Structure 1
Amino acid sequence: MAGTLYLCATPIGNLEDMTFRCVRVLKEADLIAAEDTRNSIRLLNHFEIRTPMTSYHEYNKIEKGRKLVEKLQEGLDIALITDAGTPGISDPGEELVRMCREAGICVTAVPGAAACITALTISGLPTRRFAFEAFLPTDKKERALILEELKKETRTIVLYEAPHRLLKTLELLLDALGDRQVRVCRELTKKHETVYEATLSGAVSYYKEEKPRGECVLVIRGKDAEEIRREQQQSWEEISLEAHMEQYLTKGMDRKEAMKQVAKDRGVSKREVYQALLQQKED
């Protein structure tokens, strides 16, 4: 029988966040695949875990992934850990999970800490709906596309950033999204954990004077839905009623349904649309 791949969440800073189950699974596994073995050995030594370890990271995820799948097919149980937090979230574990699923290998999670969820829950911003973007792309064109999408995002936005790129990222976000509320969460679960509350413009000013330290999670308020509605209404008002109607008629709507949708777009009653169209026809 094939083995099981265990996605083991490890602490993001505070070793007390290691779960009893995670320690047991890491001890019982046949092999541990770690993003950085030099970093993980300290964690394993602390909990007296002697299981053999191998590296699995961004630069060997395909070749090494195939080898790990072969070992799983041979019946070995493998535990996957990242440098900190939950494997598969913004790390190469996502690729290994896909390969295992395609091979029919059982994949299960040993849940625990995740920086994105930790920051979101203590931010004070809406948590019911959120969009996780991890790190913004380094490629300018790809990054511009993501920022363009985020302009109209009404959900709370969660991003990761390294301290040396924090100021530049805040400036990019301010330019793209406008002056939204933001929380800059640093050193999560550690002794010097901080949550800096500001607007994006305020955060830019602050970090021009204060050098950021430690990995950061940015939690940004989504765009107000009412503001989007007003913008959409304004854009519709820039075209004629006939052109507005034609957009829906060409999609196969009958005239009655088209008038109803046009009225909704413009924030008026269907009767007002009917009367305006009638008047334009008479004129």
Structure 2
Amino acid sequence: MPLIVVPTPIGNLRDITLRSLDALKEADIIACEDTRRTAKLLNHYDIKAPLVSCHEYNERSRVEPLLERVEQGQKVVLVSDAGMPAISDPGYLIISSAIERNLEVDVLPGPSSILPALLLSGLSPDAFVFLGFLPEKKKKRRVLLGKVALLPWTLIFYVPPHDLQGTLEEMLEALGDRKAALVREMSKLYQETLRGNISYLLEVARLESKRGELVLVVEGAKMAETAETWKEEALRLTSEKRSAKDVVSLVAERYGITKSAVKRWLRECADEEG
């Protein structure tokens, strides 16, 4: 039997597929992020199956016993509290370990906040990048935002409610005042979508707290911005009397530009001035 990865509703308990219900009913054991939360889902559908916790603090210790069950032919189902396991949730370690052991893995389709938020935003769905939660450390956040600032694709983030204002402030500085949408409590009673520029969303966040699950969708860079942003940063760093080596390293790291391209452009600027 394979390890079966089952996405669960992100809000409304009716947002679950028939195949997912079958997998839960037939499971020998269900590994879940929070047994109390999963128990509510199972009780709603009158499903009786043993549960074992598998969260960010104990996932490593669960790998061996769970995969032993798979090897023994038991039906092991992996879920998280909501949505798809391993996507900004626990589960990746178990899935990747099963694949490394050449065990069969099956991932069922189902609820996810990413695509509904993208379409609700009204921004281009042709190409997009999902970035999950930003790093907690400010330096790493700045570096990441600097790199994605050049991408022409729609950006999708998860945002913790307590960090919404700070996140929007950093994005406004790093990305500029782009079009964006904040989708809150998707598929739940108080679902809400706010659309406008980042500055508008920031103004709203300063006036009222936004609780619950938050998905932030941000417009990608315009082609002109993609071509010019890293060059403006290089000039700014040069004006601060930074060494050419430091400027090249910082710009390459922040914007994903090759060092040779930065060096070449700086030489061209120097030749023009000289």
- Match of 1:126, SS? coil
- Match of 2:14, SS? helix
Give the whole-Å Cα distance in 1 for the aligned partners of 2:233 and 2:194: 36
Question: Structure 1: which amino acid aligns with 2:87?
Answer: I
Question: Structure 2: which amino acid aligns with 1:120?
Answer: L
Question: Would you say the 8 A contact 2:15–2:111 is kept in 1?
Answer: yes
The equivalent position to 1:48 in structure 2, one of 46, 49, 53, is 46
Matches within 5 A, 1:194-209: 194-209=192-207
Matches within 5 A, 1:103-252: 103-230=101-228
Give the whole-Å Cα distance in 2 for the aligned partners of 1:233 and 1:151: 13
Question: Would you say the 8 A contact 2:133–2:157 is kept in 1?
Answer: yes
TM-score relative to the length of structure 2: 0.82
CA 1:234–1:204 in structure 2 vs 1: closer, same or farther (change >3 Å)?
closer
Give the whole-Å Cα distance in 1 for the aligned partners of 2:233 and 2:196: 31
Give the whole-Å Cα distance in 2 for the aligned partners of 1:217 and 1:77: 33
Aligned to 2:10: 12
Aligned to 1:247: none
Offset at residue 234 of structure 1 (A): 8.2
Offset at residue 9 of structure 1 (A): 0.9
Question: Structure 2: which amino acid aligns with 1:114?
Answer: S
Give the whole-Å Cα distance in 2 for the aligned partners of 1:71 and 1:111: 23
Give the whole-Å Cα distance in 2 for the aligned partners of 1:230 and 1:32: 51
Larger Rg: 1
Instruction: List alignment gaps of at least 5 residues for structure 2.
Output: 235-264, 266-271
- Match of 2:157, SS? strand
Offset at residue 199 of structure 1 (A): 0.9
Give the whole-Å Cα distance in 2 for the aligned partners of 1:48 and 1:151: 48
Higher alpha-carbon deviation: 133-142 or 78-87:
133-142
CA 1:165–1:230 in structure 2 vs 1: closer, same or farther (change >3 Å)?
closer
CA 1:233–1:210 in structure 2 vs 1: closer, same or farther (change >3 Å)?
closer
Give the whole-Å Cα distance in 2 for the aligned partners of 1:235 and 1:184: 28
Aligned to 1:67: 65
Give the whole-Å Cα distance in 2 for the aligned partners of 1:131 and 1:176: 17
Alignment length (residue pairs):
242
Question: Would you say the 8 A contact 1:57–1:92 is kept in 2?
Answer: yes
Offset at residue 128 of structure 1 (A): 1.2
Question: Would you say the 8 A contact 1:56–1:65 is kept in 2?
Answer: no
Aligned to 1:37: 35
CA 1:140–1:234 in structure 2 vs 1: closer, same or farther (change >3 Å)?
closer
- Match of 2:183, SS? strand
Question: Structure 2: which amino acid aligns with 1:116?
Answer: I
- Match of 2:59, SS? coil
Question: Would you say the 8 A contact 1:183–1:220 is kept in 2?
Answer: yes
The equivalent position to 1:77 in structure 2, one of 75, 78, 95, is 75
Question: Structure 1: which amino acid aligns with 2:130?
Answer: F
Offset at residue 233 of structure 1 (A): 8.3
Offset at residue 87 of structure 1 (A): 1.1
CA-atom RMSD in angstroms: 2.5
TM-score relative to the length of structure 1: 0.80
Question: Structure 2: which amino acid aligns with 1:170?
Answer: L
Give the whole-Å Cα distance in 2 for the aligned partners of 1:193 and 1:30: 35
Question: Structure 1: which amino acid aligns with 2:126?
Answer: R
Give the whole-Å Cα distance in 2 for the aligned partners of 1:158 and 1:137: 14
Listed one character per residue, the Cα deviations across residues 112-152 of structure 1 (whole Å, up to 9, x for unaligned) are 11111221122110111111110001123322221121211
Give the whole-Å Cα distance in 2 for the aligned partners of 1:46 and 1:23: 11
Question: Would you say the 8 A contact 1:153–1:222 is kept in 2?
Answer: yes
Runs of 4 or more off by more than 6 Å in structure 1?
232-236
Give the whole-Å Cα distance in 2 for the aligned partners of 1:189 and 1:8: 18
Listed one character per residue, the Cα deviations across residues 224-245 of structure 1 (whole Å, up to 9, x for unaligned) are 1233235578899xxxxxxxxx
